[in-house]
């Protein structure tokens, strides 16, 4: 009995590690030669750090360079509001660890590869599925050959090559914004309390994420507006940064042209059915999460936990059934629906505000809510753990 996982992202690698700990033969097929991507999610939430602590991995992981974000703030024309205080959580990890995703993935791959039943194949893009006569998925075709498996897991992102031949199409729930990401260097004089910050203007907002050596800056644009923005050049972006993020004004000129940027087309979508006999979809392959809240990695990690909780006992009983695969979606669907519904509401409010010319800042009422410490703790807890967070089964810890 074996598992083939398409995609070496956080969800795929963590699931591979958990299965290999349980002595299940698992192969992760990664399309690229390494995990080095730029401007992917870098947020490791307290849930993830606590999980890694239970697995005996957190201490070593946090020896790698990372930035501890302890609060989340809104900067509006009417003032600055802290929306979440992570250091108020009852957790040894009262912060969001911002770490380049390549470092996290390399770490997971190294730890998983030390387990005898784990195999990582790079340059192994999955191109199709192997199927039995009754339609049950029995393995994958990949660049270089074929691989038979008792279960195939599609964890290969929003443009999943596993999902396409499997049939289910993702249903868009409505995103109205895209993000243009770039980096600016860190300076010794930068605000020490700058962690995770949103700076609002009339027609756009900028997200600033802390890092050890630089800042990730995400400039929001109306969906589909990128070609027109390119025509105007980068000066409107630099001008927005100079006006709304004045402590970065002395570096705004370092954004010289669009070659220094990466366009992230924001999407909120999911497939109605994440499984069929022999196949399970997880993470963005099943449900695309907007960058709002920075919890895409968190949702993928929690999908992996839910999958391991179902798959490991099933393999120990003798084999994975269609009901076991359906159970993973049943365990996770409420959380995903809740997160995506919240994100759709944010998108609709932003679109309505742009249409009325009232700017993109959140309602002024939030000023009074965020003044209450308990509200900031509640906000931190909701973002740190997500709704209905799954707990790793104790039997998997002793494997």
The per-residue pLDDT for 377 is 93
The per-residue pLDDT for 264 is 87
Least confident of 100-114, 158-172, 273-287: 158-172
Q: State the number of CA atoms in the 13 A half-sphere of 318 facing the CB.
A: 0
Per-residue pLDDT reduced to its tens digit, 219-256: 999 888 999 999 999 999 999 999 999 999 999 999 99
The per-residue pLDDT for 134 is 92
Q: What is the DSSP letter of 248?
A: G
| CATH architecture of the domain with range 177-222+224-264 | 2-Layer Sandwich (3.30)
Residue 277 structure tokens: 């006999």
Q: How far is CA 270 from the centre of its chain?
A: 14
Average pLDDT over residues 149-173: 85
Rounded CA-CA distance 238/265 in Å is 21
What are the Cα distances from residue 249, in Å, to 252, 255, 262, 338, 359?
5, 11, 21, 38, 21
Does 3.50.50.60 match the CATH number of domain 2-47+100-172+267-355+389-397?
yes
Instruction: Report pTM.
Output: 0.93
The per-residue pLDDT for 90 is 94
For the chain, give every residue range classified as CATH 3.30.9.10.
177-222+224-264
Per-residue pLDDT reduced to its tens digit, 5-48: 999 999 999 999 999 999 999 999 999 988 877 655 689 999 99
Average pLDDT over residues 300-315: 97
Q: State the number of CA atoms in the 13 A half-sphere of 273 facing the CB.
A: 11
The per-residue pLDDT for 322 is 95
Residue 167 pLDDT class (50, 70, 90 cuts): low
- What percentage of the chain exceeds 90 in pLDDT? 70
Per-residue pLDDT reduced to its tens digit, 279-301: 999 999 999 998 877 789 999 99
For the chain, give every residue range classified as CATH 3.50.50.60.
2-47+100-172+267-355+389-397
Q: Which residue, chain included where needed, has tokens 């596993």?
A: 162
- What percentage of the chain exceeds 70 in pLDDT? 94
**Residue 276 belongs to what H/E stretch?**
strand 275-276
Q: How far is CA 128 from the centre of its chain?
A: 25
Phi, psi of 245 (to 5 degrees): -125, 70
What are the Cα distances from residue 162, in Å, to 63, 109, 276, 373?
35, 21, 12, 45
Average pLDDT over residues 73-92: 89
Residue 358 pLDDT exceeds 80: no
| CA end-to-end distance (rounded Å), the chain | 17
Residue 319 pLDDT class (50, 70, 90 cuts): very high
What does the DSSP assignment read for 26-67? EEEE-SSSS---SS---EE-HHHHHHHHHTT-HHHHTTS--E
Residue 200 pLDDT class (50, 70, 90 cuts): confident
- What is the overall mean pLDDT for the chain? 90
The per-residue pLDDT for 227 is 93
Rounded CA-CA distance 255/360 in Å is 23
Average pLDDT over residues 364-376: 79
The number of helices, as runs of H, and strands, as runs of E, in the chain is 12, 22
């Amino acid at each position: 009995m074996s598992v083939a996982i398409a995609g070496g992202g956080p969800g795929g690698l963590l699931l591979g590690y958990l299965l290999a700990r349980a002595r299940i033969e698992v192969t992760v097929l990664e399309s690229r030669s390494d995990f080095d991507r730029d401007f992917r999610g870098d947020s490791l939430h307290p849930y993830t750090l606590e999980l890694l602590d239970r697995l005996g991995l957190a201490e070593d992981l946090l020896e790698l360079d990372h930035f501890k974000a302890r609060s989340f703030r809104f900067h509006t024309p009417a003032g600055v509001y802290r929306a979440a205080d992570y250091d108020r959580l009852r957790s040894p990890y009262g912060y969001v660890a911002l770490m380049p995703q390549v470092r996290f993935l390399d770490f997971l791959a190294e730890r998983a590869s030390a387990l005898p039943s784990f195999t990582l194949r790079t340059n192994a893009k999955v191109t199709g599925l192997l199927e039995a006569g009754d339609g049950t998925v029995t393995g994958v075709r990949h660049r270089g050959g074929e691989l038979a498996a008792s279960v195939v897991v599609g964890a290969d992102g929003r443009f999943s090559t596993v999902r396409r031949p499997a049939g289910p199409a993702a249903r868009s729930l409505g995103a109205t914004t895209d993000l243009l990401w770039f980096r600016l260097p860190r300076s010794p004089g930068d605000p020490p309390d700058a962690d995770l910050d949103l700076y609002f203007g009339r027609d756009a907002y900028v997200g600033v994420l802390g890092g050890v050596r630089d800042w990730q800056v995400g400039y929001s644009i109306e969906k589909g507006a990128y070609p027109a923005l390119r025509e105007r050049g980068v000066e409107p972006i630099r001008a927005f940064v100079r006006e709304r993020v004045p402590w970065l004004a002395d570096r705004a000129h370092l954004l010289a042209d669009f070659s220094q940027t990466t366009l992230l087309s924001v999407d909120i979508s999911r497939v109605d059915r994440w499984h069929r006999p022999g196949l399970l979809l997880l993470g963005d392959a099943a449900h695309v999460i907007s960058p709002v809240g920075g919890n895409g990695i968190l949702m993928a990690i929690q999908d992996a936990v839910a999958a391991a909780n179902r798959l490991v006992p099933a393999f120990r009983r003798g084999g994975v059934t269609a009901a076991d695969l359906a159970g993973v979606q049943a365990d996770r669907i409420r959380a995903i629906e809740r997160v995506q519904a919240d994100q759709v509401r944010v998108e609709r409010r932003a679109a309505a505000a742009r249409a009325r010319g009232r700017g993109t800042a959140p309602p002024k009422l939030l000023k009074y809510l965020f003044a209450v410490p308990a509200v900031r703790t509640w906000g931190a807890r909701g973002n740190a753990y997500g709704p209905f967070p799954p707990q790793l089964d104790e039997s998997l810890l002793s494997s």
